[in-house]
Structure 1
Amino acid sequence: MAEETTLASHNERDRFLALVLANRWNAIVLERTAQLGVTDWWLTAGCIAQSVWNGLYGRQPDHGILDYDIFYFDPDTSWAAEDKVIRAAAKIFADLPISVQIRNQARVPLWYEEKFGTPFPPVEAASDGIGQFPCATVAVGVRRDGDSLRIHAPFGLALLLGGELIPNPALPIPDVYGAKTGRWRKVWPELVVAPWPE
């Protein structure tokens, strides 16, 4: 059963989750993340969207996926607190042949401007980071709550399931959008990329 923060139809939700869970690494990460002891978290970014594309275009479920991103929220923005979660994750996922990246979204505004040249708005939940992705299509997260799966998709699921990449100009980072969509098109040439708005 899935509970979602999206306007997706029942068929879209079912199809989306089937494609995401066809990648066994997604299924394992979703199952184990509860062991981290954080309550507000999402498995998000490339591992979700790219598992969908792999299913749509007949590739192996984990084809082209560089890492598995877990966004979580902790109001403690100290590096020590985040590092503790990162080290715990390293143990929990140590037996998997994948890279699991852990990021406290509350800390993103501390370093984002220096890296990308634009300030990041205040963060009050892990989902806030997903809503700022430069590509709206891949702004999707999944998490397990007990026996249920929850979906956070502020722009819906139709674009993702249709292979259409559209920008999210919430932050003025067209170069990041261009770099990401350029890499994705090399791996999944079936994708259609809309330009960044003028």
Structure 2
Amino acid sequence: MTALEAVKNLNLPDCWVAAGFIRNFIWDRLSSIKLSPVMNDIDVIYFDPKDTRQKTEQEIEKFLQSNYSGCSNKLGCWSVKNQARMHHVNRDRPYQDCADAMKHWPETVTAIAIRLNPEHELEILAPFGLEDLYQKTVQPSPHFRQHKLFEFKVRQDKKKWVDRWANLNFKT
């Protein structure tokens, strides 16, 4: 909740806590893992086509690092990315908003984000739904299945998720 409050207070457009931070939390609960949570990366995404400077993202990260700690990664755990510029990095067409950008992420199970709305209620953004998350199924997003399947497979080998969650289902 601290991360969600911090992100809400940034007042950035179309802003969410996303990806592995959410996935890992859910998988730990589903697997009854009592270990310390995986707190090495809190992904913050937002969509602001008016300011796509990477320097702005770095300034936001620095602010979050200074004001909201608690991560196990000594290098810092906040990763802030404006999805309005990420299509350049990913060699895709321009994204329309965060939901559109997430459709270009590697796995369906990672394309999930949450935030607190003005009424302090949770909002969920999951362009591929939540079924894969709750079924612990790892499969490429349609974009990766079509255009970047090799990159998806390499990523799965590097992540070593089965070391923590042995009962994952992998599909390609």
**TM-score in terms of structure 1 length:** 0.73
Equivalent position to 1:166, from 139, 149, 153: 139
User: Structure 1 pair 58/179, CA: closer, same or farther in 2 (3 Å)?
Assistant: farther
**Higher relative contact order at CA 8 Å, sep ≥6: structure 1 or structure 2?**
1
Residue matched to 1:189: 166
Instruction: Letter of the 2:54 partner, please give it.
Output: W
Count residues with an aligned counterpart: 162
Contact 1:164 1:191 in 2 (8 A): yes
Residue matched to 1:74: 48
Residue matched to 1:24: none
Residue matched to 1:157: 130
Percent sequence identity is 25
Structure 1 residue 120, shift from structure 2 partner: 1.7
Long gaps (5+) in structure 2:
none
Q: CA RMSD in A?
A: 2.0
The secondary structure found in structure 1 opposite 2:122 is strand
Deviations 1:101-151 (A, max 9, x none): 111111212323xxxxxx222122122222211111221110111221110
**TM-score in terms of structure 2 length:** 0.83
Instruction: Letter of the 1:39 partner, please give it.
Output: P
The secondary structure found in structure 2 opposite 1:136 is coil
Residue matched to 2:87: 109
> Quick one: distance in 1 between partners of 2:42 and 2:54?
21
The secondary structure found in structure 2 opposite 1:53 is helix
Long gaps (5+) in structure 1:
1-26, 113-118
Moved over 4 A (4+): none
Greater helix content = 1
Instruction: Letter of the 2:162 partner, please give it.
Output: R
